[in-house]
Chain A
Amino acid sequence: MNEIKRNPLVSKLKTQLDEGKLERREFLRLSALIGLTAATAYSVIGLPAPALAADTLPFPPADPAAKKGGTLRIGQLVAKMDDPATYAWNEMSNQSRSIIEHMTLVGPDNVVRPMLIEAWEPSEDLKTWTLHVRKGVMWHNGEELTAEHIAWNIRRWTDSATGSSNLGLSTFSALAEDTGAKTDKGKPIRVPAKNGVEVVDTHTLKLNLSRPVLSVAEDCGEYPTLIVHPSFVAPFSNAPIGTGPYTLAELKVGDRCILKRIAKTTDGKDFKYWGGDVYLDEIHFYNFDQDNQTAALASGTVDAIYELTVDQLELARSIDGAQIKSVQTAQTLCCRMQVDVKPFNDIRVRKAVVKAADNAAIQQLLFPEGGGIAYNYHVAPVHPEYFPLPKIGRDVEGAKALLKEAGYENGLDLTIDVGNTDGPWHQAACEALRDQLKDAGINLSVNVLPTSKFWEIWDKTPFGATSWAHRPLGTMALAQAYRTGVPWNETHFSDPEFDKALSEAEATIDVAKRKAKMEKVEKILQDAAVMVEPLWRPIYNLAAANVHGYMPHPARQLQLTKVWMG
């Protein structure tokens, strides 16, 4: 631990804390980012670690009242469990997360904690990360988890042939190299970089990244980053070997998924879970569509549900003893325009659209409780590096003037495509936008597509409403969506200055400096007027009175290891 304490990054943070540039809570969170356990972080600032923080586990503190036993029944869509690296829905990873586990776990408070790797140390340039694999972690087949196993997983993700969306995360993208070969569409074929993942010893590995990355710990906790055993062959559900406390007893897609506690390894040893006490005997997922989940809980068919939508809050409130919890997130909707397609290639048109929109009104209309107003730069207050730009208001006259200047004095007809991929509130947001734009002389028609159709065109339509999931760091979303040429750059936004500023922010560990650098990044994006991003939506969840420790999570990850029934 002394090595970690002497880490120059830690001393920098410490100096900032001493100078009052950093709050204590922020210090703890940032220490976690660069690989300190909470206990060490407390000791660095000379405080006795609270009993809970002394624990190096990623889970919430153990509840002394917790009782063992029982079954938790959860209402959610029951998905197939094919290849964890290509999981496309949260539901798939929810069913798997108690069987296979991440290297790190991002908690309900948006703070990342060590899981299968118990510590990580970045070099000062953030290009080399040493990961310490947790010792004493047992696979269900009796083997011990080693650095080699983790390396095998990472190499697999960084091969573009796997088709894993993990390749879109900065860390793993910086561990892949172009083969030079390109497809006819000009997309590069990528393979694991030669010296990218280096196994130092049985429980240590080194990531040699091709560029500085700040979000290694967060990236390792994203939902498709579950670590499978190297003997893995898809579908995972056929031979589910993991390190978690549960195993898969039954999977019927669209019907049920039954998890049971593991007592013995397949080679006959007693299975000991590395993560301490686990309470539930069984976890059952029962297939209920989003619209049906609340009703299923109301009639006692399930104990908890995965998604409580805002239109069901009333019904949820009427259920006796039901616990409704909510959490702030960076989940959002971007009504984004492609900057190289007429008429959006004229920045005056984009600016007019943005000016005519009233983000605050849309937020108030859709999520009157919880949630927050966004101001079109895709970094949220829950992000540690959030720099609050001055609030912008609505300016209809300004919009009209810009339209006139751009040659649309008699009005402009636009169509926005929306697929309600995250619920009907997308459509409601677009309809509100339509009414607002009318005042500035823009006739917006809202083209509602079925979800699957929308996914065919989401990155091709000139004007579309895309939902973006929560990411623990603001830079993660920006790097995936707005950097020049990245696969998910749906706006075709390309600004070398933005790329440079973003890279600089990503490479800065010093918080005060990083926040300051984010100002420029956010401002460039906001000024480019590529989207109307009206709000940050809250996540709600719902559980019966006897369920304890069932927390809503900003990235909608169900973490069930410490849930108990009482």
Chain B
Amino acid sequence: MIKLVLRRLAQMLLIMLTVSLLLFAIFDTDQFRKKVAVSELGGFGVATLSDSDYQAWLEKKGLNAPFLQRYVEWVGNVASGNLGHSMEKNVAVSTLLKDRLTKTGILAFFVFLIMIPTALTLGVIAGMNEGGRLDRVISILAVFTTSVPQIATAVLLTVAFSLGLGWVPSKSAMTDGWSFKELMLPLVTLLFYDIGYVVRMTRASMSEVMSSHYIRTAILKGLPYWRVIVRHAMRNALIVPFTLIFLQLNWLLSQVVVVEVFFQYNGFGRMLYDAAMYGDIAVLQAATLVAVAVAVLSQLLSDIGYVILNPRVRFA
């Protein structure tokens, strides 16, 4: 197990290095530098700069140092805990990242808090009654919610609950400080897709277990039905959804861009979007590191959970 963890962590470092190197390479073009200059000084402003002024500007922003030198410097800085400075937001990347990750973390917390019990319950119920009316209803709903793109869900919810009924504000900028009411729409939008997905997975796993021999045997030998479900079926059926839920963490980090940008919620996704639009390389690099770390760590947790839950699997 320790070997597995260590190997995964080593992999993580390698992926981070590779991705950051690639990012640096992508951004090491004149076009990109020009784009940053335009973002900073404006299209008309850049046209006014003479060539040497432009070079001086690049120098000031540290954009014209050779590729490798910049990269090595960056790795050194990150190793010593300095993530750099956001050119667009004029603030240390670590401060920005902490703030934005907290916001997205809160959102994710509520997503999981509601999603896990709801999705598992619905999935188990559907799986228990495979082919029954309850299963049909739940399955159709689940397929429906996962097949609507999030941007459409966001628009529909806004029109219905904000502009129509006026129950919740249409945007989630939290201008007057933290407000759960403003969190509702992004939360529901994320849940809409996520619950449907986990329900379907849980249902599949549950129905598979329910049709297995040992469940039939348990029922035939006269055990009470609820005991068969809780003691025998669920324990095995939940292994897959459980490991899957960890992977949702990773999924959430990318899906959250659409939701945060639409609802103007100032989280990680919006930060990523802004940085990509502006060409704010320090932020992009840091966000990539976070994304890679979350991806690898969530997989690791999922694997560990799987091993613990399923004694048949042992990693060498």
Please name all residues of chain A whose beta carbon is closer than 8 Å to the beta carbon of B41 when the two chains form the complex.
86, 88, 163, 165
Report chain A residues within 8 Å CB of B266: 252, 254-255, 287
B308 to chain A, nearest CB (A): 41
Closest residue to A166 on the B side, CB-wise?
A: B48
Q: Tell me if B38 and A168 are in contact (CB < 8 A).
A: no
A299 B171 Cβ-Cβ under 8 A: yes
Q: Does A237 contact B (CB under 8 A)?
A: yes
Docked complex: A273-321 residues within 8 A CB-CB of B: 284, 286-289, 292, 295-296, 298-302
What is the minimal beta-carbon distance from B39 to any residue of chain A, in angstroms?
A: 6
What is the bound-complex CA distance between A237 and B169, given in angstroms? 31
Q: Is A184 an interface residue (CB 8 A)?
A: yes
B91–A253 CB distance below 8 A: yes
Chain A residues whose CB sits within 8 angstroms of the CB of B173 once the complex forms: 255, 286-288, 296, 301
B264, CB-defined interface residue at 8 Å: yes
Q: Closest Cβ of chain A: how far from B92's Cβ, in Å?
A: 12
A255 to B266, CA, bound (A): 7
**How many chain-B residues does the 8 Å CB contact rule pick out?**
43
Instruction: Determine whether the beta carbon of B48 is less than 8 Å from that of A165.
Output: yes
Measured in the bound complex, the distance between the Cα atoms of B51 and A183 in whole Å is 6
A contact residues, range: 35 or more
Kindly state whether residue A388 has any CB partner on chain B within 8 Å. Answer: no
A187 close to B171 (CB less than 8 A): no
Using CB atoms, name the residue of chain A closest to B90.
Answer: A80
- The secondary-structure label for the interface of chain B is helix
Contacts of B51 in A (CB 8 A): 183-185, 187
With A296-B170, A299-B170 known as contacts, the answer to whether A189 contacts B175 (CB < 8 A) is no
A299-B169 contact in complex given A86-B41, A452-B39, A456-B31, C-beta closer than 8 Å: yes
Q: Is B56 an interface residue (CB 8 A)?
A: yes
User: Complex Cα distance A253/B171, Å?
Assistant: 18
Which B residues, 135 to 193, have Cβ-Cβ distances below 8 Å to chain A?
158, 162-163, 166, 169-171, 173, 175
Return A41 CB to nearest CB of chain B, in Å: 34
The CA of A453 and the CA of B279, in the complex, are separated in Å by 12
**Chain A residue nearest to B87 in the complex (CB):** A80
Closest Cβ of chain A to B45, distance in Å, is 5
In the assembly, what is the distance between CA of A286 and CA of B264, in Å? 10
Known: A161-B56, A183-B50, A187-B51. A455 touches B43 (CB 8 A): yes
B171 touches A488 (CB 8 A): no
Out of B34, B52, B171, which one reaches A456, CB within 8 Å? B34
Are A299's CB and B45's CB within 8 A? no
| Given A254-B89, A292-B171, A168 and B39 contact (CB-CB distance below 8 Å) | no
Q: Closest approach, in angstroms, between the C-beta of A207 and any C-beta of chain B?
A: 20
* B39 / chain A contacts, CB cutoff of 8 Å: 452
B303 on the A face (CB < 8 A): no
Given the interface pairs A253-B88, A253-B90, A295-B163, the reply to whether A288 lies near B171 with Cβ below 8 Å is yes
Cβ of A143 within 8 Å of any chain B Cβ, yes or no, is no
Give A559 to B183 CA distance when docked, in angstroms: 33
On A, residues with C-beta under 8 Å from B are 73, 80-82, 86, 88-89, 160-161, 163-165, 167-168, 183-185, 187-189, 235, 237, 251-256, 284, 286-289, 292, 295-296, 298-302, 421, 452-456, 458-459, 487-488
Q: List 14 A-B contacts (CB under 8 A).
A: A80-B88, A88-B43, A88-B45, A163-B49, A252-B89, A252-B91, A252-B266, A287-B264, A288-B171, A295-B158, A295-B170, A452-B277, A453-B35, A487-B48
Q: What are the 3 A-B residue pairs with the smallest beta carbon separation, nearest first?
A: A88-B42, A455-B43, A183-B51
A252-B99, A284-B175 are known; give 16 further A-B pairs, CB within 8 A: A86-B45, A88-B41, A89-B42, A163-B53, A165-B45, A189-B50, A254-B89, A256-B175, A288-B264, A295-B158, A296-B264, A298-B163, A301-B175, A453-B35, A455-B43, A458-B43
